[in-house]
Chain A
Amino acid sequence: AQKVTQAQTEISVVEKEDVTLDCVYETRDTTYYLFWYKQPPSGELVFLIRRNSFDEQNEISGRYSWNFQKSTSSFNFTITASQVVDSAVYFCALSEASGGSYIPTFGRGTSLIVHP
């Protein structure tokens, strides 16, 4: 079973629109970590956020915000007033304690295209 599901393969918006990228995860561990990474056209993945399972407080960083809800096993990412530079593939990842290694499992990514 897929542990990290990003159901949206591609999203296309016009600049200044708000957009939410969905991430649903599956785990039996009580301790785990969730990540979001951005992969711009240049190719290198850039870390955006890491959240542990004990901290459900939502986080805002500029135009970016994250909504973590354990009740629905979701860790959604919202970009407010999107810009062309936000165009990239965004990956959600889950790191579990199983085996003690915490190796992250990534979703398939959501390609965001922001049109001017």
Chain B
Amino acid sequence: GAGVSQSPSNKVTEKGKDVELRCDPISGHTALYWYRQSLGQGLEFLIYFQGNSAPDKSGLPSDRFSAERTGGSVSTLTIQRTQQEDSAVYLCASSLWRADTGELFFGEGSRLTVL
């Protein structure tokens, strides 16, 4: 498809398990962002990839969270030893380059529920 694709759309897991969330950005977009949306909390920035540069990980809430982007395209967000407070919708977005040159395009999100 032409838009940002995320999978899975829904994930239910047990506390302590690891989860992987995938994002396939729009072809040709060099920038990729992960945000987390918790109820009533707006969008919380997690991590930003720009081309081949080192990612900006300043928003990751703990060392249980990590992300990689392979070949400048697909990205995977990994949460290890999930906790109940990790329950949220994880949103991926991509942009042509940076936000000063164009808007972010968002995927539909991956809803994570940790029991």
How many contacts A-B (CB < 8 Å)?
57
Q: How many residues of A contact B (CB 8 A)?
A: 26
Chain B residues 31 to 67 lying within 8 A of chain A, measured CB to CB, are: 33, 35, 40-43, 45, 48, 50, 56
Cβ of B99: which chain A residues have Cβ within 8 Å of it? 33, 35, 95, 102-104
From known contacts A102-B100, A104-B99, A108-B41, infer whether A45 and B33 are also in contact, taking CB-CB under 8 Å: no
The answer to whether B98 has its CB under 8 Å from any CB of chain A is: yes
What's the interface size class on B, roughly? 20 to 34
A103 and B105 contacting across the interface, CB-CB below 8 Å: no
Cβ of A108: which chain B residues have Cβ within 8 Å of it? 40-42
The answer to whether A97 has its CB under 8 Å from any CB of chain B is: yes
Q: Which of B33, B56, B99, B105 has the most CB of A within 10 A?
A: B99
The answer to whether A62 has its CB under 8 Å from any CB of chain B is: no
The answer to whether B104 has its CB under 8 Å from any CB of chain A is: yes
Cβ of A104: which chain B residues have Cβ within 8 Å of it? 33, 45, 99, 104
The answer to whether B108 has its CB under 8 Å from any CB of chain A is: yes
Question: What sequence of 0s and 1s flags, for each residue 95-115 of chain B, a beta carbon within 8 Å of any chain A beta carbon?
Answer: 000111011111111000000
A109 and B42 contacting across the interface, CB-CB below 8 Å: yes
A47 and B35 contacting across the interface, CB-CB below 8 Å: no
Q: Which residue of A lies closest to B45 (CB)?
A: A103
- 8 A-B residue contacts at CB 8 Å? A35-B103, A45-B91, A47-B103, A47-B104, A101-B98, A104-B99, A104-B104, A108-B41
What residues make up the interface of A, taking CB atoms closer than 8 Å to B?
A: 9, 31, 33, 35, 37, 42-45, 47, 50, 52, 91, 93, 95, 97, 99, 101-109
